[in-house]
Amino acid sequence: MPDWRAQQSTAFDLHGNSTARETITLDLWGKPATIYANANLSIYSAQACNARCAFCVEELRPASRGVALNVQKTVEADNERYFAAMQSVLDGLKPLNPSVSVTGGEPSQDARLPRILRTLQASAARKRTMTSNGSGLLDVREGKPLIDWIAETGVAHLNISRAHGDDRINAKLMRYRASPDAAALREIVRRAQRGGTRVRLSCVLVANSVDDVSDVLAYLDFAQSVGVDNVIFRQLMHTDPTTTQANFVTKFSDRRRVAMTPLLAELARREDFTFQRQVMGYYYYVEVWRYKNIDVVFEGADLAQLERTKHSMPGVIQELIFHPNSRLASTWQPWDGVLGPP
């Protein structure tokens, strides 16, 4: 295993150790755009989230650029204009054929979700994933449960955020009570699998919650008990204090962050964990392990490193975000790196 664990995303080298190792230049609405060849397109749902996690990344991203979420987020309210712009983006990015993830806010609460999923399916968008807090997945929308829409439109992976196996602790950390309980999760997983969608549980590493190997093992037991064979543990994101507008997420993250590296070192000494691979991202670092029949992923991310990488590679677009205002941008800020449509 190359010695990247200590350096994490600072060791990212687009041509040396990224997954694609190259960029592609394409014509986007009459202008050339040079994009990382394995870039992901995020469809950022306009729907506000019904949870209020103390570690919310949606709140953290604008804060890391000195702006509050409610100041920067605007929404295209007209459905036809919204979907026409999405189609234009999907058509424009065809030569790149990016993977596509639907994220939020909370997409499961978005009235547009079935149509978004159908649009992505009709465009044969590659490796479609969705991230949700799990609420409402069994609710009937446009004639069938949302989870069936997700599976039947060919979503490959459904990430469900859950901070703890225990409902009460999870509700406290995510500050909401609509998380599916174990029985509902089992049903969601069953319906997802029936349609070929793999469910992944996403858990944050938080001091006094899931913060050591025994907590990781207990969480994996919980995942297994509901039929999930894919779990990601996320270190709370780092930000640059000199550019960040402190908010409840930055304060919580700095207070309760659990370092991932010592945890990984401890797992590496165990015989029941088998190392699979490392993934080097432009602001994140991932290790994949195998435990029993579960893929166990660990991710650390640093929004300060994201800015440093961007500045070190001017003109190279690393990721693509279709914002709620129906504009495509190369950043999570709808005011920075806007690409179109015209």
- x/- mask, ligand SF4, residues 125-164, rule CB under 6 A, reads --------x---------------------------x---
CB 85 within 8 A of CB 326: yes
Number of residues that bind ligand SF4 (CB under 6 A): 12
Decide if residue 57 touches ligand SF4 (CB under 6 A): yes
- Angle formed at CA 95 by CA 92 and CA 98, multiple of 5 degrees: 85
CB 202 within 8 A of CB 129: no
Q: Which is nearer to ligand SF4, 301 or 339 (CB)?
A: 301
- In the set 43, 51, 188, 320, which binds ligand SF4 (CB under 6 A)? 51
- In the set 28, 39, 41, 53, which binds ligand SF4 (CB under 6 A)? 53
Q: How far is it, in rounded angstroms, from Cα 106 to Cα 104?
A: 4
Q: Which is nearer to ligand SF4, 52 or 144 (CB)?
A: 52
Instruction: For the CB of residue 50, give the shortest distance to ligand SF4 in the complex, in Å.
Output: 7
Residue 287, classified by CB atoms within 10 Å of its CB into exposed (0-12), middle (13-18) or buried (19+), is: buried
- In the set 89, 90, 174, 231, which binds ligand SF4 (CB under 6 A)? 174
Q: Which is nearer to ligand SF4, 9 or 179 (CB)?
A: 179
CB 138 within 8 A of CB 147: yes
Sign, CA dihedral 38-43-48-51, equals negative
Query: Is residue 130 within a helix (H) or strand (E), and if so which, with residue range?
Result: strand 126-132
Q: What is the DSSP string of 134-165?
A: STTTTSEETTEEHHHHHHHTT--EEEEE-S-S
Neighbour tally for 20: CB within 10 Å: 12
Q: Candidates 17-25, 52-60, 192-200, 206-214: pick the segment binding ligand SF4 (CB under 6 A).
A: 52-60
Decide if residue 299 touches ligand SF4 (CB under 6 A): no
Q: Which is nearer to ligand SF4, 23 or 103 (CB)?
A: 103
- In the set 33, 35, 39, 56, which binds ligand SF4 (CB under 6 A)? 56
Decide if residue 334 touches ligand SF4 (CB under 6 A): no
Region of 21 on the Ramachandran plot (φ > 0 left; ψ -120 to 50 alpha; else beta): left
Residues that bind ligand SF4 (CB under 6 A): 49, 51-53, 56-58, 104, 106, 133, 161, 174
